[in-house]
Amino acid sequence: MVIKRDPDAAVYRQLAAELRAQIADGRLQPGALVPSEAALMQTYGFARETVRRAIRELRIEGLVIVQPGRGTWVRPEVDRQIEPLLRGTDFEVRMPTAAECDAHGLAQGVPVLVIHRGGTEQLVSTVGKIFTVR
């Protein structure tokens, strides 16, 4: 990946995007250890704070788990569990996707309640906003 020194695209966000892509395409598998800060610094030539900000962004999004002094891991996949509420209505709690955050102005890293009813989904954010998705 080529990181551009562009004032319109923060370097840490470019690094976060690269790591996000590695998670999405399977180069970094669920449960896998993410390269250390030192390894990322050496690979990309960035300062420690730049690497930390990129990892922090992925942690906020719920993609990685950070254990100080031990390392950073790709969050393991969890089985989606849909619970019945009323006849024909189920719910789940999950992290919003980046697209949902952008589309609805949701904060990254904050779980949402998703209500499934009659073929539609409603996202409920922690601030009480309700969005009919489909």
Write out pLDDT tens, residues 115-128: 877 777 776 665 55
- 27 has pLDDT over 90: yes
Task: With respect to residue 27, please indicate whether it lies within any of the assigned structural domains.
Answer: yes
Distance, CA of 98 to CA of 61 (rounded, Å): 8
Task: With respect to residue 52, please indicate whether it lies within any of the assigned structural domains.
Answer: yes
Do 43 and 22 share a domain, yes or no? Answer: yes
56-115 pLDDT, tens per residue? 989 888 888 888 889 999 988 765 566 666 777 877 777 777 777 778 777 666 777 788
Q: Which of 49, 74, 99 is the last residue of a domain?
A: 74
| Confidence at residue 86, expressed as pLDDT on a 0 to 100 scale | 74
Do 69 and 87 share a domain, yes or no? Answer: no
Q: Which of 74, 97, 115 is the last residue of a domain?
A: 74
Domain count for the chain: 2
Task: With respect to residue 28, please indicate whether it lies within any of the assigned structural domains.
Answer: yes
Task: With respect to residue 4, please indicate whether it lies within any of the assigned structural domains.
Answer: no
- 4 has pLDDT over 80: no
Task: With respect to residue 113, please indicate whether it lies within any of the assigned structural domains.
Answer: yes
69 contacts 57 by C-beta, under 8 angstroms: no
27 contacts 74 by C-beta, under 8 angstroms: no
The residues facing 116 across adjacent strands are 90, 121
Task: With respect to residue 5, please indicate whether it lies within any of the assigned structural domains.
Answer: no
Do 19 and 70 share a domain, yes or no? Answer: yes
pTM of the model: 0.61
> What is the domain extent for residue 98?
83-132
The pLDDT-based confidence of 35 (bands split at 50, 70, 90) is very high
If DSSP codes are grouped into helix, strand and coil, which group holds residue 22?
helix
The pLDDT-based confidence of 38 (bands split at 50, 70, 90) is very high
7-24 pLDDT, tens per residue? 677 899 999 999 999 998
32 contacts 19 by C-beta, under 8 angstroms: no
Task: With respect to residue 6, please indicate whether it lies within any of the assigned structural domains.
Answer: no
Q: What is the CATH number of the domain that holds 38?
A: 1.10.10.10
| Confidence at residue 51, expressed as pLDDT on a 0 to 100 scale | 96
